[in-house]
Amino acid sequence: MTQTTAAAESTSPQKVDAVVIGAGFAGLYALHKLRNDMGLKVQVVDKAGGIGGTWYWNRYPGARCDSESYYYSYSFSEELEQEWSWSERYPDHNEIRRYLTFVADKFDLHRDIRLSTTVTGASYDAARDRWTVRTDIGQDIEAQFLITAVGCLSTANVPDIPGLADFRGDWYHTGHWPHEGVDLRGKRVGQIGTGSTGIQLAPELAKVADHLTVFQRTANYSIPARNAPLTDAFQTEVKETYRDIRDWAKRVTNGHPFDIRDQSALEVEEAERRRIYEQHWDTGGLRFRAAFRDILTDRDANETASDFIRSKIREAVKDPDTAEKLTPTDHGFATKRPPIDTHYFETYNRDNVTLVDLRAAPIEVITENGICTADGEHELDVIVFATGFDAFTGSLEALNIAAPDGHTLRDSWQAGPQTYLGVQTPGFPNLFMITGPGSPSVLCNMPVAIEQHVEWVAQCIAHMREGGLNRVEPAPDAAGEWVAEVNRAANATLLPQASTSWYLGANVPGKPQMFLPYAGGMAHYADICDDVARDDYRGFVFS
Ligand code: NAP
Instruction: Give the C-alpha separation, 218 to 357, whole Å.
Output: 8
Residue 218 alpha carbon, nearest atom of ligand 1? 47
Instruction: Give the C-alpha separation, 376 to 365, whole Å.
Output: 10
Instruction: Give the C-alpha separation, 460 to 538, whole Å.
Output: 12
pLDDT of residue 7: 44
> For residue 499, what pLDDT band results from cuts at 50, 70 and 90?
confident
Instruction: Give the C-alpha separation, 543 to 464, whole Å.
Output: 9
Please provide the average confidence, as pLDDT, over all residues in the chain.
Answer: 97
Which pLDDT tens digit goes with each residue over 172-202? 999 999 999 999 999 999 999 999 999 999 9
What is the Å distance from ligand 1's center to 509 Cα? Answer: 14
DSSP conformational letter for 209:
B
> For residue 500, what pLDDT band results from cuts at 50, 70 and 90?
confident
pLDDT of residue 537: 98
Mean pLDDT of 494-511: 94
pLDDT of residue 5: 42
Identify each DSSP E strand in 374-471 by its residue range. Answer: 376-379, 382-385, 431-433
Residue 2 has pLDDT above 90, yes or no: no
Residue 1 has pLDDT above 70, yes or no: no
What is the Å distance from ligand 1's center to 386 Cα? Answer: 6
What is the Å distance from ligand 1's center to 90 Cα? Answer: 19
What is the Å distance from ligand 1's center to 75 Cα? Answer: 29
Residue 232 has pLDDT above 50, yes or no: yes
Residue 6 has pLDDT above 60, yes or no: no
- Among the listed ranges 61-70, 444-453, 497-506, which one has the minimum average pLDDT value? 497-506
Residue 3 has pLDDT above 90, yes or no: no
In sequence order, the 6+-apart residues with CB closer than 8 A to the CB of 128 are none
**Torsion over CA: 431, 437, 439, 443 (sign):** positive
Mean pLDDT of 2-12: 52
pLDDT of residue 10: 57
Backbone angles phi, psi at 366, to 5 degrees: -100, 130
In sequence order, the 6+-apart residues with CB closer than 8 A to the CB of 29 are 74, 76, 450, 451, 454
Residue type, 256: H
Q: Are 221 and 328 within 8 A, CB to CB?
A: yes
Q: Are 68 and 238 within 8 A, CB to CB?
A: no
Residue 9 has pLDDT above 90, yes or no: no
Which residues line the pocket of ligand 1, CB cutoff 6 A? 64-66, 153, 159, 192-198, 200, 217-218, 337, 358, 363, 386-389, 442, 500, 502, 507
Residue 337 alpha carbon, nearest atom of ligand 1? 32
Mean pLDDT of 312-327: 98
Helix (H) or strand (E) run with residue 233 in it: helix 232-240
How far is the CA of 140 from the CAs of 133, 311, 397, 400, in angstroms? 6, 58, 19, 14
Nearest to 334 by CA among 304, 355, 361, 362: 304
Helix (H) or strand (E) run with residue 18 in it: strand 14-21
Residue 110 has pLDDT above 70, yes or no: yes
Which pLDDT tens digit goes with each residue over 383-424? 999 999 999 999 999 999 999 999 999 999 999 999 999 999
Q: Are 398 and 155 within 8 A, CB to CB?
A: yes
Residue 4 has pLDDT above 80, yes or no: no
pLDDT of residue 102: 98
pLDDT of residue 240: 98
pLDDT of residue 11: 78
How far is the CA of 516 from the CAs of 250, 419, 425, 501, in angstroms? 21, 10, 14, 11
Mean pLDDT of 310-330: 98
What is the Å distance from ligand 1's center to 341 Cα? Answer: 14
Mean pLDDT of 363-378: 98
First to last CA, the chain: 42
Percent of the chain with pLDDT over 70: 98
Backbone angles phi, psi at 90, to 5 degrees: -120, 125
Identify each DSSP E strand in 264-352 by its residue range. Answer: 340-341
Mean pLDDT of 436-441: 98
Mean pLDDT of 100-116: 98
Angle CA 96–146–148, to nearest 5: 35
Burial 56-83 (b: 16+ CB within 10 A, else e): bbbbbbbbbbbbbbbbbbbbbeeebbee
